[in-house]
Structure 1
Amino acid sequence: MAALWTFDEGTGTMTVEARSNQEHHIHYVFNEAVDKPISDPLWRQGISGHALLFDGYSTWVSADASTLAFREDAMTLEAWVAPRAFEWGNEGKLSSILSYHNKEEKKGFQLGVFRHGTWSFQFGTGEEWFEVWADEAYRLPRNEWSHLVAVFSKERSEVVLYRNGEQAGHIEIPSHTTIALPDQELRIGKNNFPAFISDTFDASMFNGLIDEVTVYRTAHEHPEIEERFHQSFDGEIPNPSSELAWDRSRYDGDRHRPEYHFTPPEHWMNEPHAPLYFNGQYHLFYQFNPAGPYWGGIHWGHAVSDDLIHWRDLPIALAPEAYEVDPDGSWSGDSIIDEHGNPALFFTAGNDSMTPNQMTGLARSRFLDDHNHDLVDWIKHPEPVTLQDEHIQTEKGTVWYGQFRDPFVFQSGDKWVQLVGSGIKDGEESVGGTALVYTSDNLIDWQYEHPLMIGDVHTYPKTGDVWELPVFLPIGHDDHGEEKYVFLINPWFDGNSEYAVKYVWYWIGSWDDETYQFIPDQEDPQLLDVGEHFTGPSGMVDDKGRAIIFSITQDRRTEESRYNAGWAHNAGLPIVLSLRDNHRLGVEPVQEVERLREELLFNLDNPSTIEDVNQQIADLSGDMLEIELEIERKEAQKVGIKVRQSPDQQEETLLFYDFDEQTMNVDRERSSLSDNVEKGIQGGKVEIEDDLLRIRIFLDRSMVEAYINGVNSLTTRVYPSREDSLYLELFTEGESEVKKMNVWRMRSAY
């Protein structure tokens, strides 16, 4: 035997190679944690004893290869692996299980996984580089143990691969071929020469469980390999699903990670989308990268809730799959319940082998077969259901070919209607965003109708060149009894823009269900949230008839901060949109958020001065709070509240309303002492009545959400560097009066 790693330690940051008895370091992001307690790598139950769970971006083992006794003419490399997800395959490089190679010098060997579960053993002679790939029938399944073996034999002039005791691949090699050993460290879980995602993140890393990595000094025969496979477990191969499950406790003690807003269980999320109410449960899907806290390899994460507040994580709903409609990404979309009562998902299917690479895919739940209310199994339709035509003409220009994503589907009369985000160009010049209208009788065959609306990027530059994530929901009836709708979009910009990833715009109007036309009541776009962190809308109408919107709250952190934290982004609170008496849009958090109130910390019902209230709340502190505040203007120009304030006021974040300008603002210039945190002053127009500011504020670690007089919100992020930045202080410029103030401590949603 040349080397054996059993991973039976179960604790600590070192693993022992059994033959040499050498300890080897396990790299893991929280070995030296930032903004949370230090914790060990992720030890789990393995095929035998313990195994190591590789998180996909930070976990790997480094070993001094000089202590190992590899032969150049014969080798059997063996490992038990249970992949949790597969990388896209940047630069054509393997996500290494074991890597001891230098491909440029054509030296060494590696065993690793590639796109969609393909896998390979590769080696170099110093003169030539060989790659042996497993046959298609022996692709690795996710969330299952596989016993992988690669046998190199100079004597037999062959390399043979095995999976679970069966021959999976074979090549003949020239006689007298030997492996040239490189001057490299040996790595488990990471490629010696990984592809770079960025200056911070590496690709080419294994994601899942690895156990019993063995390198023998002889070339074993098939019967011996088959026998060893069957001797490794008792009865059936263990199911590793529970060991591979996403683990929120990994982030315990992270003082910036929200506790009662929806967060991904691990790693990266983009927008939550496709919310669905079905059989008494709310389902939420979200753009998810299981590989790490960076954009890429997008899957559909899935969670379920009884009340829109307390969420339970479920297995990934959709993943990019070979030979299906989405080999290169399962991107944003929507959900409906079809005419048979079966939930269905519409998603943007990514396929880089096609032009354009974006199209609409359809997946149906297996609920009618298995009656699983969690809706964990989805079957994709074998073909795209909507493809973008190349030359769609409109009255203002040509639909931008290649910009075609984020389907939103609803029923209108006896037709299904699908909106797809796109843009319009006049020659090479951008005109503005659009949502294209398609109709169908059966959810599979769709006919193009016309643009729902066409934007004007020159008059309204903040509305972007392309409209993503169109949402169209009924919000109530006006004074004349006419049903009104809200149409929301997320702007996308062609190239760098100071307005990118900051805003969600909307119009209120009417819907003609015979012509499938939207008639907006006003030309000017309206801003839903006047901060610069609320993006990515998605929506649904629930069983109570409420128009509910979900959003992503951009974290605006550096890549280094995300690496150290292990997660990126989270959702805002779900909000209810309604039509108010004055034809304005009502914006309020769902009432269910009150279930998170753990303790009433402060209550004021009698009018008081700012100074009196500040004395009463001087000792009140917390970073998981709900604050309900009413302040009458009187003679003041500005009123508001400072949150996340340190005792000496070195750190604080000010939320304030400017009565003269009629704007709601946040001042984050002193929100953190760290130079790596985005700061600044942001805000926007919010018209209120009667000089009475009514505001509900939700603090959740780094999250700050303010809802102003029920008509707008302001969402922002703060990352105080001091652990004592927990205090509150009311603020006024000029005379004002506090009419009401309540403060609750909030509990975790998990």
Structure 2
Amino acid sequence: MSQVPDNRGLMMYWAFDEGSGARALESVSKTHDDIQYVFKQAEFTEPRDPQWRQGVLGSGLLFDGYSTFVAHRVNTGDSNGEPGFLTALSIGVWVAPRSYEWGEGGKLASIVNRYNMDRKQGYLLGMFRHGSWSFQVGLEGGAWAEIWSPDGCELPKNEWSYVSAVFDGNQGEMKLYLNGSEIASTALPRGSRLTEAVDSDLLIGKNNHSSRLAKAFSLHMFSGIIDELKIYNRVLSAEEVVVAYRHVLDSAHGGVRPSLKYDEIKLDRTPLLSDRHRPQYHVSPPAHWMNEPHAPIYFDGKYHLFYQHNPLGPFFHQIHWGHWVSEDLVHWRDLPVALAPEKDQLAPDGIWSGSATYDADGLPVLFFTAGNDSASPNQSVALARSTYSRDGDPDLVNWVKHPEPLIVQKKGIGAFGDFRDPFVWKDDDGWYALVGSGMEGEGGAALAFASKDMLNWTYKGPLYHADLQKFPYLGPIWELPVLLPLGTDKQGVNKHLLLVSPVGKGADVEVFYWIGRLDKENLSFIPDQEKPQLIDVGDFHFTGPSGMVDPKTGRKIIFTIAQGERTPELEYKSGWAHNGGLPLSVYLRDDGRLGIEPIQELQSLRGEKRLSLRNKSLAETNVRLREVQGDMLEIQLEIEPCSAKRFGIKVRRTPDGEEETQLYYDANQSMLLVDRTKTTLHPGERCGGIQGGKLELPGENLKLHLYLDRSMVEAYANGLKSLTTRVYPSRMDALGLEIWGDGELTVKTLDIWDMQAIW
């Protein structure tokens, strides 16, 4: 029978045993504190309470990393508002961190705090970068004292740890304990007193003085589960700390440290499934932020796709590699983060975009951009290997980084300081890499490298760089270069596809491409025409390209991010930002142009066929279309224009037409366009205006293949161009469809299916 902790001097205690609801009991004062959580007053999904999980004793509270916190009013100080003083303070708490914060401004992601740094008042217990943690107090006389966890005593992710911090003013000591063992101590002047912060609430999970990002997000918030938080106004001895630790182990866990299943702490997509704007058959993270998907690879019967991810919240910060796996490129499963910044000299400051290929044994490897702000340049190319050969990891969950960068940019190689997004492939002669950069004063470039062993690389010069004077919209830097073989044209010439994403001053951030020849001996690319082309004309919604040759089918498949185009305030409210576009198959047409089409596997998502028409007039078609409502649809449409010069389809339309989005073709201008001037009445949404681009259809009918997935609209026209856009109607009845034109037209074919969710 374990000893029971001595609760003399207990000032505050949160057991977090409610297990449901939106309040947490502080047991000493019998105060029920409100738990703040973004979805308590949800605008786009069903309101719900904060998330509770299994704790070390009873339940624990899950903190989402950006919106969840508890505020507790503490009455201290005298009647004149002068601060009170404590000669002793002890804190004990069980924590299971899910993610580490970057540590903007040197501030801690708070576990519990009530402090004012400017006045040197109060106390703060929290985490810093890579799992290090600290206890800090303001002392009488204006001093600020800190004690930090030593190397090797970081708090592990997805595991329970018992953290104790002790301030002993009389003896002049501060101590840290981890899982019952003392790990650090520091001396203070004997007789020190902690000055209480009279103007602050006690906050659990949020820093009293957090930095702000994009005016909407508070940084320095705890991500993970907290349980059994106790605060004493006396010094707990080392023996008492052990008793508190052992009591939990012995009373509920058979004497061993509590275990935590990953499913208990992982990011949960459940609250977002009913979000009326969040796509349900497009690939997306379970929650929070993503930008480009990348590093697609096929291995052992499964497709893997990774993505740039901030697991802390729906904002761009502290980027990791998220990970999905699929057997059909359509239905995906969420896997744990594959790569994260760590306390090393390789990539402590970010794991940026890259690609995947195979090593000499045919095992998958990841090439990534390693972010290290202490190095110059702060970007290099690094490698991670799967543990598959060691442990047979079937989902490739575990990856081990090669300890040193493989390719480090030297001055004279590209635009110094801009060197990222390696695209690597292997053939019988070795490995080849493209790295996004620029040529000083000459514009963006894809730099080429070669290796015989995958570890030692030789610079071969720029694979290709464009004339910035002729094409200023191609920008000074290129990101995310992708090179895919397209096969031979009708003349028997072997062709490749080069994709880039321009950034920097004057750049048009779209996916531009060239078709041309690869000179493998010199690692250079000769385009068929100097002017670049666009795959998508939706204006910035189709970005962040990556690509692969599918070993199963030989198809060349492109993946992209579908930008969300929302304000930070709306991304805060919704809890997510961005998703992937549908996978596209690209190929060389007989006429030498690039063909694009969504992969055929998407047909597996078709549900009920809602409508099938042939050779109908505009009026006849629209009568039948009144039967069809939906925001998750696949539509195949062919229009013969007759006398019409502008014609197309309205989607996400209210019955009165107050909200609608028009997709159409302008034959006079040879333009594929979307008109979003009536897309939404919501005052905060950004979507609006008219976007589009060139689409030459000499003598052809307009053939549209559309996918509606809540806020996603993707239109594929005649196998030549896509138009990706976003729509966020304010009205729940914006579900209608209507064909329209400025003259006579015939609907040659119209087929509509309901589409099923993949999650």
Q: TM-score, normalised by structure 2?
A: 0.95
Measured after TM superposition, the shift of residue 480 of structure 1 is 2.2
Task: Summarize the alignment of residues 622-641 of structure 1 with structure 2, pairs less than 5 Å apart.
Answer: 622-641=630-649
Query: Do the aligned residues in 1 keep the contact of 2:85 with 2:195 (CA within 8 Å)?
Result: no
In structure 2, the residue matched to 1:396 is none
SS of 2:240's equivalent in the other structure is helix
Partner of 2:6: none
What is the identity, as a one-letter code, of the residue corresponding to 2:630? Answer: G
Runs of 4 or more, structure 1, over 3 Å off, are 67-71
User: Contact between 1:598 and 1:746, CA under 8 Å: does it hold in 2?
Assistant: yes
Structure 2 counterpart of 1:92, which letter? G
The CA distance in 2 between the partners of 1:223 and 1:659, in whole Å, is 83
Deviation at 1:84, TM superposition (A): 0.6
Name the counterpart of 1:39: 48
User: CA contact under 8 A between 2:537 and 2:692: conserved in structure 1?
Assistant: yes
Structure 2 residue 132 is matched with structure 1 residue 118: yes
Aligned counterpart for 1:536 among listed residues 503, 523, 544: 544
Shift of residue 675 of structure 1? 2.6
1:327 corresponds to which residue?
Answer: 348
Q: C-alpha displacement at 1:368, in angstroms?
A: 0.6
Deviation at 1:411, TM superposition (A): 2.0
Partner of residue 418 from structure 1, selected from 420, 433, 449 = 433
What is the distance in 1 between the residues matched to 2:719 and 2:660? 25
Aligned to 1:572: 581
Alignment of 1:370-519 (within 5 A): 370-392=391-413, 399-426=414-441, 431-494=442-505, 497=506, 500-501=508-509, 503-519=510-526
User: What one-letter code is carried by the residue in structure 1 that aligns with 2:60?
Assistant: A
Alignment partner of 1:585 is 2:601: no
Q: Is the 8 A contact 2:673 2:692 kept in 1?
A: yes
Offset at 1:437? 0.2
Q: Quote how far apart the aligned CAs of 1:216 are.
A: 1.6
CA contact (8 A) 2:169 2:194 kept: no
Check conservation: 2:419, 2:437, Cα contact below 8 A: yes
Q: Deviations over 1:363-410 (max 9, x none)?
A: 000001111120001000000000001123xxxxxx210010000001
CA–CA distance in structure 2, aligned partners of residues 500 and 566 of structure 1:
28
Q: How many residues align?
A: 735
Establish whether residue 10 from structure 1 lines up as the match of residue 19 from structure 2.
yes
Distance across 2 between alignment mates of 1:77 and 1:514 = 66
Aligned 8 A contact 2:216 2:569 in 1: yes
Q: Structure 1: which 5+ residue stretches go unaligned?
A: 393-398
Contact 1:419 1:470 in 2 (8 A): yes
Q: Any residues of structure 2 matched to 1:309-388 within 5 Å, and which? A: 309-388=330-409
* Aligned partners of 2:17 and 2:59 also within 8 Å: yes
Counterparts of 2:623 and 2:491 in 1: how far apart (Å)? Answer: 50
Distance 1:347 1:450 in 2: 20
CA separation in 2, counterparts of 1:245 and 1:204? 19
In 2, the alpha carbon distance for the partners of 1:59 and 1:522 equals: 54
Counterpart pick for 1:189 among 183, 198, 205: 205
What is aligned with 1:679? 688
Distance in 2 (CA, whole Å) between partners of 1:522 and 1:362 is 35
Identity over aligned residues, as a percent? 48
Answer yes or no: is 1:204 the counterpart of 2:220: yes
Distance 2:126 2:556 in 1: 47
Is the Cα–Cα contact under 8 Å of residues 481 and 501 in structure 2 kept in the other structure?
A: yes
- Cα deviations across residues 70-93 of structure 1 (Å, max 9, x unaligned)? 970112101100111111001100
Shift of 1:67: 8.0
Per the alignment, residue 232 of structure 2 pairs with: 216
Q: CA shift at 1:540, angstroms?
A: 0.6
CA contact (8 A) 1:625 1:699 kept: yes
SS of equivalent to 2:530: coil
Counterpart contact for 2:45–2:271, Cα < 8 Å: no
Secondary structure of 2:86's match? coil
- Aligned alpha-carbon RMSD (Å): 1.4
Match of 1:697 in 2: 706
Offset of residue 618 of structure 1: 1.3
Question: Secondary structure in 2 aligned to 1:581?
Answer: coil
Alpha-carbon displacement from aligned partner over 1:646-679 (angstroms, at most 9, x marks no partner): 0000000000011121110000000001232220
Per the TM alignment, residue 512 of structure 1 is displaced from its structure 2 partner at its CA by 2.2
Listed one character per residue, the Cα deviations across residues 271-293 of structure 1 (whole Å, up to 9, x for unaligned) are 00001111111101000001110
> Shift of residue 324 of structure 1?
4.0
Report the CA distance between 1:525 and its aligned residue: 0.2
- Deviation of 1:461 after TM superposition, in Å, equals 2.3
In 2, distance between residues paired with 1:477 and 1:70?
81
Check if 1:657 corresponds to 2:665.
Answer: yes
Q: Distance in 1 between matches of 2:521 and 2:84?
A: 74
Distance 1:254 1:274 in 2: 28
Q: In 2, distance between residues paired with 1:615 and 1:415? A: 61
User: Is 1:733–2:742 an aligned residue pair?
Assistant: yes
Structure 1 Cα separation of the partners of residues 152 and 239 of structure 2:
21
Q: In structure 2, how many angstroms separate the alpha carbons of the residues matched to 1:282 and 1:319?
A: 21
Report if the CA contact (8 A) 2:474-2:508 is conserved.
no
Name the residue aligned to 2:119.
105
Q: Separation in 1 of the partners of 2:535 and 2:468?
A: 18
Q: Is 1:60–2:108 an aligned residue pair?
A: no
Partner of 2:178: 163
Give the Cα separation in 2 of the matches to 1:185 and 1:411.
58
SS at match of 2:611: strand
How far apart are the structure 2 equivalents of 1:442 and 1:67? Answer: 66
Following TM superposition, by how much is the alpha carbon of 1:433 offset from its aligned partner in structure 2, in angstroms?
0.5
Question: Do the aligned partners of 2:171 and 2:191 also contact (CA within 8 Å) in 1?
Answer: no
Deviation at 1:355, TM superposition (A): 0.7
**CA deviations over 1:406-458 (Å, ceiling 9, x no partner):** 000012441211000001223xxxx2110000001111111100101112233
**Whole-Å separation in 2 of the counterparts to 1:94 and 1:6:** 23
Superposed CA offset, 1:296-342 (max 9, x none) = 10000001011111110000000000114110000000000111121
In the TM superposition, residue 225 of structure 1 has moved relative to its aligned partner by: 1.1
Matches within 5 A, 1:228-239: 228-233=244-249, 234-235=253-254, 236-239=256-259
The answer to whether the aligner puts 1:283 opposite 2:335 as a matched pair is: no
Deviation at 1:711, TM superposition (A): 1.0
Partner SS state of residue 626, structure 1? strand
Are 1:250 and 2:271 matched, yes or no?
yes
Shift of 1:238: 2.8
Give deviations 1:454-483, integer Å, cap 9, x for gaps.
122332222221110000001222112232
Note if contact 1:413-1:513 (Cα within 8 Å) is conserved in structure 2: no
Q: When the two structures are superposed, what TM-score results if normalisation uses the length of structure 1? A: 0.96
